[in-house]
């Protein structure tokens, strides 16, 4: 009986290990230009240099054809023509062939634009399920700018609720940060992008005070993080800032958020850190 129980537990452990090792990778870019070395890394990590293909999902952009052109341009300049654009409209009658193209892609690349536009089309649909299926089967899911923001389970939209007229996030206040559901491929952190260039500290600090159990990861332009499991590697020309709350919740004072012992780490190319 003990031998049977041990065998059963061993099989379960092997199954879980296999599932974890099969899980895909995330390549999250903070926007801006993509250094050639970054594109080469996307190619090698996805494996499209050996076989298979990649798809570009341009639904964040109001100009999907332009988004596809620029997303695929550097890949083609490096000799890789196996990257295709695949656009969807809101409430489109979904075609099985297009969905299968997502499920079977070794690389899924989400363009920049407006992350809310992307999720309005994809959220809760078979498109989203196809992205999950590809990720579960080991594919690389990449995204830049808005395509970076959608990776989080809690997605920053960029709107300052109390001061929607502000072009930049100027306050650290309660009930001010708008978050919407993202794809949830990264559940342990909230992603922000164009981070250093556009000084987006206030909104990411607000996020980690509102959600002290999550990391705040701010990725600058021309910079990315490659996530495998809970391990992240920085790739690119600038910096990645990681905020971590002490998880001690302090009530707001006159609407102003307060916190103690927030930790900030700043990483550059080649550095690694944990996303949990």
Domains in the chain, start-ordered, CATH in brackets? 24-274 (3.40.50.880)
pLDDT at residue 15, rounded to an integer:
41
Nearest to 115 by CA among 33, 31, 229: 31
Q: Give every CB contact of residue 145 below 8 A, 6+ residues apart in sequence.
A: 29, 30, 31, 32, 60, 111, 112, 113, 193, 194
Strand 256-258 and strand 250-253: the pairing is antiparallel
Q: What's the confidence (pLDDT) of residue 11?
A: 37
Burial class (CB in 10 A: 0-12, 13-18, 19+), 142: buried
Nearest in space to 137 (alpha carbons), one of 19, 5, 259, 258: 19
The whole-number pLDDT of residue 20 equals 46
Residues forming beta bridges with residue 182, ordered by sequence position: none
pLDDT for position 14: 41
User: DSSP string of 104-153?
Assistant: T-SEEEE-SS-HHHHHHHHTTSHHHHHHHHHHHTT-EEEEETHHHHTTBS
- pLDDT tens digit sequence for 137-187: 999 999 999 999 999 999 999 999 999 998 889 999 999 999 999 999 999
Residue 168: its pLDDT value, please? 87
* Tokens (6 digits) for 11: 């099989």
3-class DSSP assignment, residue 156: strand
Please tell me the pTM assigned to this model.
0.91
Q: How high is the pLDDT of residue 248?
A: 79
Q: Pull the structure tokens for residue 187.
A: 């559940």
pLDDT at 21: 46
Res 196: pLDDT: 97
**Residue 43 tokens, joined:** 């190619």
Confidence at residue 247, expressed as pLDDT on a 0 to 100 scale? 79
- What pLDDT shows up at residue 5? 40
pLDDT below 50 — which residues of the chain?
Answer: 1-21
Neighbours of 258 (CB within 10 A): 12
CA–CA gap between residue 227 and residue 18 (Å, rounded) = 18
User: How much is the pLDDT for 167?
Assistant: 84
Predicted pLDDT of residue 249: 83
């Amino acid at each position: 009986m003990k031998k049977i129980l041990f065998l059963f537990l061993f099989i379960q452990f092997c199954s879980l290990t296999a599932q974890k090792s099969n899980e895909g990778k995330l390549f999250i870019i903070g926007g801006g230009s993509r250094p050639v070395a970054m594109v080469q890394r996307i190619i090698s990590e996805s494996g499209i240099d050996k076989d298979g293909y990649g798809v570009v999902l341009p639904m964040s952009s109001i100009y999907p054809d332009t988004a596809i052109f620029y997303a695929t341009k550097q890949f083609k300049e490096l000799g890789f023509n196996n990257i295709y654009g695949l656009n969807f409209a809101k409430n489109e009658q979904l075609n099985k062939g297009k969905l299968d193209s997502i499920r079977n892609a070794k690389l899924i690349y989400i363009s920049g634009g407006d992350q809310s536009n992307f999720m309005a089309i994809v959220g809760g649909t078979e498109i989203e399920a196809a992205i999950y299926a590809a990720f579960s089967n080991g594919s690389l899911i990449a995204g830049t700018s808005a395509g970076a923001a959608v990776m989080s389970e809690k997605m920053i939209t960029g709107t300052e609720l109390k001061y929607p007229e502000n072009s930049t996030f100027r306050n650290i206040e309660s009930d001010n940060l708008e978050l919407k559901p993202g794809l949830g491929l990264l559940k342990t952190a909230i992603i922000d992008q164009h981070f250093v260039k556009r000084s987006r500290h206030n909104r990411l600090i607000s996020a980690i005070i509102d959600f002290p159990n999550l990391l705040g990861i701010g990725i600058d332009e021309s910079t990315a993080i490659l996530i495998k499991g809970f391990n992240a590697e920085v790739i690119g020309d600038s910096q990645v800032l990681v905020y971590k709350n002490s998880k001690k919740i302090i009530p707001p004072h006159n609407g102003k958020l307060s916190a103690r012992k927030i930790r900030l780490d700043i990483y550059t190319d080649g550095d690694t850190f944990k996303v949990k």
